[in-house]
Amino acid sequence: MALAKFAQIKQYILARIEAGEWQENDRVPSENQLTELFDCSRMTARRALTELVESGVLERSQGLGTFVAGLKSQSSLLAIRNIADEIKDRGHGYSVKQLELAQVSAPSAVAISLGLEEGSPVFYSVLVHCEQDKPLQVEERYVNPQMIPDYLKQDFNLLTPHEYLSKVAPLTEARHTIEAVIANEQTQQRLAIEPTEPCLQILRRTWSRKGVVSFARLTHPGSQFRLGGHLTFNR
């Protein structure tokens, strides 16, 4: 089945960026130019550009046009998204390595975050999410077993913890803290980075309607990752 026109436009733009024809900060065709090139409506062209802006591939400058964004991978600061979808939306290959999946005793900070007694059993997973076969995020996640009893039965090589938790305990609230850190030696090895490279780390707690579901530590190489968002305020 033929791709929808907006998907064809996205594919066209991504292919030229991947091939190096359009470099960082190069202007891409306007909505009007894409409308003519693909024989489609301006709304269709706008949708393609908007989705690429939202995924961090392009950036808009009002009155000037739309440009190829910086080369770092970007996640939204304002939304909780599945990292696999973010990477695929950029037109890149996604892969994952599941390193650990076990029951452990909750350290003090984790127990407090999950509303449990220190030393209580919790489920623990460690995954490395990769973009174009290059490590982009180490995800360490502690899960409340009272909320998600089947967590250890999952294969997170097939779906991400975010995807699974969204199905069995839909997200109602999230809080996160973002900071620059120097990762410990184990995380450096998992990200394949030098000991001196700074990392961007997100600490995130998520709730479903029944209570706290998980506490996650998400660590990214600073040279490959950034966070962004867009706010619109009503007058």
Q: Are residue 59 and residue 80 in the same domain, yes or no?
A: no
Write out the residue range of the structural domain in which residue 61 sits. Answer: 5-68
Q: What is the pLDDT of residues 119-170, one digit of tens each?
A: 999 999 999 999 999 999 999 999 999 999 999 999 999 999 999 999 999 8
User: Which of 68, 95, 112 delimits the end of a domain?
Assistant: 68
Q: Are residue 206 and residue 107 in the same domain, yes or no?
A: yes
pLDDT bracket for residue 59 (50, 70, 90): confident
- Angle formed by the axes of helices 42-54 and 31-38, nearest 10°: 120
Residue 234 lies in a domain: no
Residue 87 lies in a domain: yes
User: Which of 25, 46, 68 delimits the end of a domain?
Assistant: 68
Q: What is the pLDDT of residues 64-89, one digit of tens each?
A: 889 888 655 555 554 677 889 888 88
pTM of the model: 0.70
Residue 24: both structure tokens together:
């960082």
24 with 68: CB under 8 angstroms?
Answer: yes
What's 31's domain CATH number?
1.10.10.10
Residue 235 lies in a domain: no
Q: Are residue 82 and residue 132 in the same domain, yes or no?
A: yes
Q: Are residue 11 and residue 124 in the same domain, yes or no?
A: no
Q: Are residue 216 and residue 141 in the same domain, yes or no?
A: yes
User: Which of 52, 68, 84 delimits the end of a domain?
Assistant: 68
- The residue ranges of DSSP E strands in the chain, in sequence order, are 58-61, 65-68, 73-76, 94-105, 121-131, 134-143, 173-182, 198-208, 211-221, 225-228
121 with 102: CB under 8 angstroms?
Answer: no
CA 17 – CA 95 distance, rounded (Å): 21
20 with 101: CB under 8 angstroms?
Answer: no
Q: What is the pLDDT of residues 183-234, one digit of tens each?
A: 999 999 999 999 999 999 999 999 988 889 999 999 999 888 766 655 455 5
- Give the chain's domain count: 2
Residue 153 Cα distances to 95, 139, 148, 160, 222, angstroms: 20, 18, 10, 13, 33
